[in-house]
Chains A and B, each alone.
Chain A
Amino acid sequence: MDRAERIALTLAGILTTTAFLGIVFAAYGMGVMVPTSIKDMKPFERDTVIQISDRHYEIHYIARMWTFFPQEVKIPVGSTVDIYLTSKDIIHGFNIHEKAVNLMAIPNAVNHVRVTFDREGEYRIVCHEYCGIGHQMMSAKIVVYNPEVEDEGG
């Protein structure tokens, strides 16, 4: 090993450490969490939307060839939503457009993420795992409305 090589190796070591510490910080310091294993919740049979409190909802999504249930959910802006997701047949994906919500729907297992919708609008949910010939049609919607504007909330 000559000097230049030792420098390159040291730099690589520093870079690896920094990058990894950055990730640990994002995960624990900023709370950017990826899904974890849920051992105390059996896969649910039906899809539901539950209002837990004023701005807190729970949605149980079911993915199956080739649609999501519920197809469309309306929630007021500023709501926090606990999304639970399972599949009733094969593996599907679940990606909310312009939101960092990215889940796999696996049969016989429950996935979970918590997300807050701060902006009004229509959020498209796209299945992004191949699930057979109808895969490209598999999609759903979350509509985030402003309750202060009377007729939109209706």
Chain B
Amino acid sequence: MKVDRGLRWLVLLELLIPAALLTLGIYHGLMQVLYRAGWIRASEFWGLEYYQGLTLHGVVNALVFTTFFAVAFGNILVPYLLKMRYNMKVAWFSFALMLTGTLFASWAILSRKASVLYTFYPPLKAHPLFYIGLALVVIGSWVAFFNWIPVYLRWRRENPDKKTPIGIVGLFVQFIVWTIASVAVAYEIVFMLIPWSMGWVETVNAELARTLFWMFGHPLVYFWLLGAYIMYYAMLPKVAGGKLYSDFAARLVFMLFILFSMPVGVHHQFTDPSIGHNWKLLHTFFTYLVFIPSFLTAFTLAASLEYAGRKNGGNGLFGWWLRLPWFRTDGNKWLFSYFIAGLFIFIFGGISGLVQASYSVNLLVHNTSWVPGHFHMTVAGPVFLAFTGMMLYIVHRLTGREIPFRRFTVLVPYMWMIGIALFSWGLMRGGLHGEPRRTNLGLSYLNPDSPLYMPDWKLYTAITAVGGIIMFTAMLIYFIQLFGMFFSKKTGDGTIEFPIAEPYHDENVPWVLNFRPWIIVLLIIVAIAYTPVIIDVMQSTFGGSPPYSPENPIPLR
């Protein structure tokens, strides 16, 4: 596809601005493992305090980078797959909102006015611009989505007997989940936190805010994952040299994600008071249903890869395995390494997730370092590798510039995979022994001079640190390639093509073609799963809280 100047700049800016911030987020990831291993025993390093840096790490890596990427990817995928243009003015407006929001929130964090972590639980209070900034990022992403809808509807009208391309199905499911879920957090921010942080209302109900946050927080993780799923279903089989095994399975999986995305948030609150345990169990049930799309995905992707391997000349039970483009660096083949390394990590991420989501077992691991051990194998595994890989690809094609040190492209994801393995193993083992998350361990539990010293955790935190250093090094190479591109020679013409897979089995199953019934069922399930939870919270909390600063036990007013 030929890309005109406006679209090129829009997408490049939407990718590269968060990428620049990401360098800071990754830098502080490295710092965190050093503090936690007790290798740095201080409350701050180079002007960045631990919890300030951790807020930055969570907000930049998990909220800003992922949301910008999802919008940028959609902004290029919609015209590519539907061959129709959306309104550029609206797209730029969405970018302006998101950029302003990012600047507000980053300013608040970097000037130490918002060390509240990316979950911003009240009654810890951040500067109002932190909340306003986050709200603007969310609203900006809605604007981008609403801008694609009329294009999609027009395409549907003009192509009544074609099926919507899988890439568009995935993208729309991703943004349907995101838009519906973020209503909860938008309510929390706009009607509770902003008025309270401005001093217009005195108190806020902490447990209610927390519940609304997680009503959004779990769909958020599927929002990330769906971005990777788009690439796995629509592109991976083609990159591997084959076809998508089943078109129906892909559509079914995406639709199931609409259903199972939202009625599950309470699994982050198993140890909270104020929510009845029967409702906690109901949310566990809905959480477990995600087994089904996950198994289907594992099956379909494995079958697609086998088909590709055999087509590439592999035979026997495992011979096809050797014929996949593991280390190929030509054309777009290197994307395979990013996808497959992410999928390997995801196997462990998925299993550890189901362990911690299981109600009673959650008591062993809740809020311990097990949890970051788990989610770095999801969001910092398949999601992050798919996003960074695709970002490198899009920037490479849109600028027409060669990727410097091209042979290293396949090194980055495998190195990341090895790093994550050590990193997460250490965090999860430590977590089983009570190592807390979100804690500057070097000041107390990992400091031999402190009365709180916990020698048990030494080995685990050290292995985590080694893993973190490997991950950091992989990202260093990545950033050299990404930003180094601007100094390398122009070999392309600035057009872009995506490797889009054909289906192998192409059945026509009408009930997975339409979003609407799935959305309606979702709304019904959400009402069933959340009404009793909100009632419980209202009946078992007694009053609200004034705001606090993280630095002082005396309330701010």
In the complex the two chains form, is A137's CB within 8 Å of B273's CB?
no
Q: Does B228 have its Cβ within 8 Å of any Cβ on chain A?
A: no
In the complex the two chains form, is A133's CB within 8 Å of B359's CB?
no
In the complex the two chains form, is B436's CB within 8 Å of A26's CB?
no
Q: Does B322 have its Cβ within 8 Å of any Cβ on chain A?
A: no
Residues of chain A lying within 8 A (CB to CB) of residue B277: 27, 33-36
The one of A2, A37, A95, A130 in contact with B536, judged by C-beta atoms closer than 8 angstroms, is: A37
In the complex the two chains form, is B274's CB within 8 Å of A109's CB?
yes
* Given contacts A38-B540, A103-B271, A132-B548, A93 and B281 within 8 Å (CB-CB): no
**Complex-state Cα separation, A90 to B276, whole angstroms:** 22
In the complex the two chains form, is A104's CB within 8 Å of B285's CB?
no
The one of A16, A95, A103 in contact with B368, judged by C-beta atoms closer than 8 angstroms, is: A95
In the complex the two chains form, is B299's CB within 8 Å of A8's CB?
yes
Most chain A beta-carbon contacts within 10 A, residue among B295, B436, B507, B545: B436
* Given contacts A2-B505, A27-B281, A129 and B206 within 8 Å (CB-CB): no
**Complex-state Cα separation, A82 to B452, whole angstroms:** 25
**Complex-state Cα separation, A101 to B368, whole angstroms:** 12
In the complex the two chains form, is A91's CB within 8 Å of B210's CB?
yes
Residues of chain B lying within 8 A (CB to CB) of residue A85: 273
* Given contacts A24-B281, A133-B43, A65 and B553 within 8 Å (CB-CB): yes
* Given contacts A90-B548, A137-B443, A64 and B271 within 8 Å (CB-CB): no
Q: Does B155 have its Cβ within 8 Å of any Cβ on chain A?
A: no
Q: Does A98 have its Cβ within 8 Å of any Cβ on chain B?
A: yes
* Given contacts A35-B277, A89-B123, A95 and B551 within 8 Å (CB-CB): no
* Given contacts A32-B360, A132-B551, A104 and B436 within 8 Å (CB-CB): no
Residues of chain B lying within 8 A (CB to CB) of residue A38: 273-274, 540
Residue of A nearest to B359 (CB): A23
In the complex the two chains form, is B359's CB within 8 Å of A128's CB?
no
The one of A64, A111, A128 in contact with B436, judged by C-beta atoms closer than 8 angstroms, is: A128
In the complex the two chains form, is B441's CB within 8 Å of A136's CB?
yes
The one of A11, A37, A106, A128 in contact with B439, judged by C-beta atoms closer than 8 angstroms, is: A128
The one of B54, B358, B544 in contact with A108, judged by C-beta atoms closer than 8 angstroms, is: B544
Within 522-557 of B, Cβ neighbours of A (below 8 Å) are at 536-537, 539-545, 548-553, 555
In the complex the two chains form, is B367's CB within 8 Å of A20's CB?
no
**Complex-state Cα separation, A57 to B507, whole angstroms:** 65
Of the listed stretches B70-78, B286-294, B407-415, chain A binds B286-294
Query: What per-residue 1/0 map shows which CB atoms of A124-153 lie under 8 Å from chain B?
Result: 101111111101110100000000000000
The one of A98, A111, A129, A136 in contact with B444, judged by C-beta atoms closer than 8 angstroms, is: A136
In the complex the two chains form, is A132's CB within 8 Å of B360's CB?
no
In the complex the two chains form, is A35's CB within 8 Å of B444's CB?
no
* Given contacts A102-B271, A133-B551, A109 and B541 within 8 Å (CB-CB): yes
* Given contacts A34-B362, A90-B123, A108-B206, A4 and B299 within 8 Å (CB-CB): yes
Q: Does B353 have its Cβ within 8 Å of any Cβ on chain A?
A: no
Q: Does B142 have its Cβ within 8 Å of any Cβ on chain A?
A: no
**Complex-state Cα separation, A36 to B348, whole angstroms:** 31
Q: Does A43 have its Cβ within 8 Å of any Cβ on chain B?
A: yes
* Given contacts A12-B291, A95-B436, A132 and B124 within 8 Å (CB-CB): yes
Residues of chain B lying within 8 A (CB to CB) of residue A104: 269, 271-273, 367
In the complex the two chains form, is B276's CB within 8 Å of A36's CB?
yes
In the complex the two chains form, is B367's CB within 8 Å of A129's CB?
yes
The one of A26, A106, A133, A135 in contact with B272, judged by C-beta atoms closer than 8 angstroms, is: A106
Residue of B nearest to A1 (CB): B248
**Complex-state Cα separation, A110 to B478, whole angstroms:** 48
Nearest-Cβ distance from residue B312 to partner chain A, whole angstroms: 21
**Complex-state Cα separation, A16 to B391, whole angstroms:** 35
Residue of A nearest to B117 (CB): A130
Nearest-Cβ distance from residue B310 to partner chain A, whole angstroms: 15
In the complex the two chains form, is B296's CB within 8 Å of A64's CB?
no
Q: Does A52 have its Cβ within 8 Å of any Cβ on chain B?
A: no
Nearest-Cβ distance from residue B260 to partner chain A, whole angstroms: 11
Q: Does B284 have its Cβ within 8 Å of any Cβ on chain A?
A: yes
In the complex the two chains form, is A37's CB within 8 Å of B445's CB?
no
Q: Does A69 have its Cβ within 8 Å of any Cβ on chain B?
A: no
Nearest-Cβ distance from residue A34 to partner chain B, whole angstroms: 5
* Given contacts A103-B271, A127-B436, A12 and B295 within 8 Å (CB-CB): yes
In the complex the two chains form, is B295's CB within 8 Å of A66's CB?
no
Residues of chain B lying within 8 A (CB to CB) of residue A26: 359-360
**Complex-state Cα separation, A1 to B247, whole angstroms:** 10
Q: Does B249 have its Cβ within 8 Å of any Cβ on chain A?
A: yes
Residue of A nearest to B451 (CB): A139
Q: Does A9 have its Cβ within 8 Å of any Cβ on chain B?
A: yes
Q: Does B334 have its Cβ within 8 Å of any Cβ on chain A?
A: no
* Given contacts A100-B363, A128-B437, A132-B551, A8 and B273 within 8 Å (CB-CB): no
Q: Does B280 have its Cβ within 8 Å of any Cβ on chain A?
A: yes
Nearest-Cβ distance from residue B299 to partner chain A, whole angstroms: 4
* Given contacts A101-B363, A106-B207, A132 and B274 within 8 Å (CB-CB): no
Nearest-Cβ distance from residue B449 to partner chain A, whole angstroms: 13
Residue of B nearest to A17 (CB): B288
The one of B122, B354, B507 in contact with A19, judged by C-beta atoms closer than 8 angstroms, is: B354
5 A-B residue pairings within 8 Å (CB atoms): A9-B292, A16-B288, A19-B288, A106-B206, A135-B439
20 further interface pairs, Cβ-Cβ under 8 Å (given A20-B284, A137-B443): A2-B505, A9-B296, A12-B292, A15-B291, A15-B295, A19-B288, A23-B359, A33-B277, A36-B277, A38-B273, A91-B210, A100-B364, A102-B366, A104-B272, A106-B272, A108-B205, A109-B207, A109-B541, A130-B51, A139-B444
